[in-house]
Amino acid sequence: MSYRETGLSVYGHKCELCGFSVVEVHHIGYQLHTEWENKIRSKYKAGEDMSLILEEVKALGFLSWNGQDLSKDNRSTNLAVLCGNCHSLVHLFDAGMNLLKALPKRI
Q: Does 99 interact with Zn ion (rule: CB under 5 A)?
A: no
Rg (CA), the chain: 15
φ and ψ at residue 95, rounded to 5 degrees? -70, -30
Q: Does 57 interact with Zn ion (rule: CB under 5 A)?
A: no
Closer to Zn ion by CB, 43 or 72: give it.
72
Closer to Zn ion by CB, 54 or 96: give it.
96
Site string for Zn ion, 12-51 (x = CB under 5 A): ---x-xx-x-----x-------------------------
Q: Does 83 interact with Zn ion (rule: CB under 5 A)?
A: yes
Contact 52, 69 (CB under 8 A): no
Amino acid type, 57: V
Half-sphere exposure of 78 (CA within 13 A, CB side): 14
Residue range at the interface with Zn ion (CB under 5 A); choices 45-53, 57-65, 72-80, 84-92: 84-92
Q: What's the rounded Cα separation, in Å, for the pair 57 and 71?
A: 10
Binding site for Zn ion (CB under 5 A): 15, 17-18, 20, 26, 83, 86
